[in-house]
Amino acid sequence: MALYKKTVNGNVYWYLREMARVDGKPKMISERYLGSAKDIEKLLDAKEAAIVPEKTRHLGFGDSAAVWGVLQRLNVVGIIDEVTGTRRKDAGASVGTYLALAALNRVVAPTSKLGFADWWKSTAADRFTKIPASVLDHRRFWDAMHRVSLEELAVIEERIALAMITEFGLDISALALDMTNFATYIDSGNGAAPIAQRGKAKQKRTDLRLVGLGLVITRDGGIPLLAHAYPGNKPDVTQFPVMIDALGARHRKLAETAGIIAAPEVTVVFDAGQNSASNFTRVTDTDLAFVGSIPPSHVTDMLKLPATDRAIVDEDRFGGLSATETRRVVYGTERRVILTHSPTLHEKQVAGFAQTLAKAQTKLGELTETLARGKTRRTTVALTDHIASITRDSWLRRVLDCTLEGDSPATHRLTVTINEKARAELEEELFGKRILVTTHEDWPIAEVVAAYRSQSDAEFGFRQLKDPHVVSFSPMNHWTEHNIRIHTFTCVLALQAAHLMRREAENAGEHHSVRDLLERLASIGETVMIYPSTGGRPKVRRMLTEEIDTHSNLAEIFNLTKLAPKKS
């Protein structure tokens, strides 16, 4: 092929010729008229216009698709719909669909039900779920929430827990139990939500009503297996038996599910916040083993044991952690008790106490100067109470010697000194130490320590729920007892899905936090290309961004190609 130029009356025209040898001689076998240079330019412009789309849109894909895939594996929609019954004829989707979508949103981009449809339009989820934004009005979500009774909710939670164990092969032999609370913005005069009460706020928001939440989390992947919502003014210790009873019942249910899963011995891990004689008895009566901790004040004699009595537990796993064990009567029953000392915890407590001590010294120093100037009208009793409030920490009272002299405002003088000997004794006696108690008589100390440290999985789950960006409890735009409990269910379901995803990635060699994993998946977007219409509807083509290749391992782990747009 070759371009050939002809000049006619001073005008240049172009032809496309094809030459070949015929009988050994070159001969033109075809000629195609292309036109003038301007004609060729128009042809090229038309061809480019056919290739370049008129519009493009970028939609979220990877994160929502991965979460939806996990929810499908758990059959969340099917379980909820089977329990709640057939959907209303005027409903755009089933009850299970709405609650699963609420959990999906909690994982990816927590928003209100009012803002859900707008968020949905920014994702490609309508394509692979076949659920249009038109049926996602916030009132439809509320209708779905009202369709689930609290009795049905308990059945749904149990069935989803069984599905997690069987579908993902969870090891439930070691579980951690912990509790926290969440601040709400429910008006003080609202009597429709007795579950929201003022109490000891772990987020330091004493001005807000609280909802308490207890979780039982597997050591295998940190997956919530059981959740319990309760009024925020109830101490954790009072909710412990409720959760233990529920866990025991669920354990028996697993045992009854013949052919699906064997019933292993279950060890529950809990901290000193749930301690009481009745709670220790409740655990053992439920046929659950336990590893817990007790306040040092229960075994003060152990704290005075010399460091030479302790031995390094497992340097490869726990560094310089050392321990010794004995038997002591704990809440009326003789138990195996282990004293551990962590150099890392010791250093942190030294640093933390130094800050606490410095703050107290600053306040006491200011008070000392004020008294020295005679600029106070406080009585001796008032001053004594004020000093006691500054040094209310028991460790401070051991270390600080505060002497108040004088019997009138004008003669009051304060002297503050640090008792260095008492400070050294405090560090030697308490810092870095923890007292563990367990029913496991034959476990090596290293296994008891490892089990207790799984408590951090529960704490991490709570921190995740307090992350405002992914897998978040807030915003909670619900004001009734019923809807708050359903909202809590969708948040826990979101936490379950997120940590199952993290566990799947971990098992495949991808080591990421929940947030990092979701950010990587979110980078796999979907581009929609809309081409000009040549009659009829505009042509639409979809393709994934190049990040699908960058994160090909994650795409394979979560089978994203199954939900990806089909290639034209």
Region label for 216, one of left (φ > 0), alpha (ψ between -120 and 50) or beta (otherwise): beta
Domain boundary among 407, 429, 451: 429
Assess whether 519 and 372 both reside in one domain: no
Assess whether 512 and 567 both reside in one domain: yes
Assess whether 293 and 186 both reside in one domain: yes
Assess whether 250 and 141 both reside in one domain: no
Question: Taking the C-alpha atoms of 401, 407, 408 and 410 in order, what is their torsion angle to the nearest 10 degrees?
Answer: -60
The answer to whether the beta carbons of residues 125 and 489 sit under 8 Å apart is no
pLDDT for position 202 = 64
Domain boundary among 429, 455, 486: 429
pLDDT for position 258 = 40
The answer to whether the beta carbons of residues 232 and 180 sit under 8 Å apart is no
pLDDT for position 219 = 85
Region label for 201, one of left (φ > 0), alpha (ψ between -120 and 50) or beta (otherwise): beta
86: exposed, middle or buried (Cβ count in 10 Å: 0-12, 13-18, 19+): exposed
Token pair, residue 361, equals 């010294």
Assess whether 307 and 355 both reside in one domain: no
> Mean pLDDT in runs of 10 for the chain (568 residues)?
83 86 81 86 69 82 97 97 86 93 95 93 95 93 94 94 91 84 78 80 71 87 89 86 84 61 72 80 84 88 93 95 94 92 96 96 94 85 94 94 90 94 94 94 93 80 79 78 92 95 95 93 92 73 87 94 84
pLDDT for position 19 = 82
Domain boundary among 379, 410, 429: 429
The answer to whether the beta carbons of residues 133 and 470 sit under 8 Å apart is no
How many beta carbons lie within 10 A of that of residue 422, not counting itself?
15
How many beta carbons lie within 10 A of that of residue 106, not counting itself?
25
How many beta carbons lie within 10 A of that of residue 337, not counting itself?
20
Sheet of strand 525-531: strand arrangement: 55-60, 525-531, 539-544
54/526 Cα distance (integer angstroms): 17
Beta bridge partners of 336: 327, 438
Assess whether 208 and 185 both reside in one domain: yes
- According to the 3-state scheme, what is the secondary structure of 392-453? CCHHHHHHEEEEEECCCCCCCEEEEEECHHHHHHHHHHCCCEEEEEECCCCCCHHHHHHHHH
Q: Which domain holds residue 527?
A: 55-148+471-568
Assess whether 180 and 303 both reside in one domain: yes
Which pTM was predicted? Answer: 0.80
376/362 Cα distance (integer angstroms): 18
End-to-end CA distance of the chain: 31
pLDDT for position 256 = 67
Residues 532-541: contacts with CB under 8 Å, at least 24 apart: 532/49, 532/54, 538/54, 541/53, 541/568
Assess whether 216 and 289 both reside in one domain: yes
Question: Taking the C-alpha atoms of 278, 281, 286 and 288 in order, what is their torsion angle to the nearest 10 degrees?
Answer: 120
Q: Say which residue the tokens 């004293």 belong to.
A: 339
The answer to whether the beta carbons of residues 194 and 212 sit under 8 Å apart is no
Assess whether 290 and 194 both reside in one domain: yes
404/262 Cα distance (integer angstroms): 67
Please report the DSSP string for 193-259 in residue order: -TT-B----TTS-TTS-EEEEEEEEETTT--EEEEEEEETTS-HHHHHHHHHHHHHHHHHHHHHSTT
Angle between helical axes of 481-507 and 150-168 (0-180°, round to 10): 0
Assess whether 297 and 443 both reside in one domain: yes
Assess whether 141 and 156 both reside in one domain: no
Q: Say which residue the tokens 């826990």 belong to.
A: 492
Per-residue pLDDT tens for 19-54?
A: 888 777 888 888 888 888 888 888 776 665 666 677
CATH for 459: 3.90.350.10
Nearest C-alpha neighbor of 459 from the set 231, 298, 224, 193: 224
Domain count, the chain: 4
The answer to whether the beta carbons of residues 468 and 450 sit under 8 Å apart is no
393: exposed, middle or buried (Cβ count in 10 Å: 0-12, 13-18, 19+): middle
Residues 12, 17, 19, 25, CA torsion sign: negative
Token pair, residue 68, equals 């939806």
Per-residue pLDDT tens for 164-222?
A: 998 999 888 888 888 888 878 777 777 887 888 877 766 666 777 888 888 888 888 88
Assess whether 409 and 328 both reside in one domain: no
184/277 Cα distance (integer angstroms): 33
